[in-house]
């Protein structure tokens, strides 16, 4: 299994941004004062969307193996993954669900 040494997400003034393999932002979850996160994913390709979800899934899997909750994936990972999952379902793309319980 290949473990990425570069971060896949970054927090900025707008919210939490997913990064591609070159460190460029590919999507952002905008955190609103009221309600939950709002994701701007209209410009993401199917491949980017699947890769972003898979990155979170692998980070959560690694967290479980190392015994630390959200050690690599971060506390915003669950909200971010949920927004990605909603978009994956909307596009009817196939993906492996994240096992949050390990």
pLDDT tens, position by position, 45-83: 999 999 999 999 998 888 888 877 666 566 678 888 998
Phi, psi (5° rounding) for residue 52? -65, -45
pLDDT of residue 80: 87
Using CB atoms within 10 Å of the CB of residue 101, give its burial: 0 to 12 exposed, 13 to 18 middle, 19+ buried: exposed
pLDDT digits (tens, 9 = 90+) for 32-41: 444 445 556 6
Which residues, other chains included, contact 30 with Cβ-Cβ below 8 Å and sequence gap of 6+? 14, 15, 37, 38, 39, 40
- Domain membership flag for residue 52: yes
| pTM over 0.85, yes/no | no
Residue-number span of the structural domain to which 54 is assigned: 9-90
Does residue 101 fall inside a structural domain? Answer: no
Q: Is 95 inside any structural domain?
A: no
Whether 26 maps to a domain, the answer reads yes
Q: Which residue would you say has higher pLDDT here, 1 or 87? A: 87
Residue 17 lies in a domain: yes
Rounded to an integer, what distance in angstroms lies between the CA atom of residue 15 and that of residue 39?
9
């Amino acid at each position: 299994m290949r473990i990425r040494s570069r971060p896949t997400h970054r927090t900025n003034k707008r919210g939490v941004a997913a990064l591609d393999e070159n460190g460029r932002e590919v999507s952002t979850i905008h955190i609103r004062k009221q309600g939950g996160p709002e994701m701007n994913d209209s410009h993401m390709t199917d491949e980017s969307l699947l890769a972003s979800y898979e990155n979170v899934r692998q980070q959560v899997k690694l967290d479980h193996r190392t015994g630390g909750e959200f050690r690599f994936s971060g506390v915003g990972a669950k909200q971010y993954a949920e927004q990605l999952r909603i978009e994956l379902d909307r596009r009817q793309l196939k993906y492996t669900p994240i096992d949050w319980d390990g």
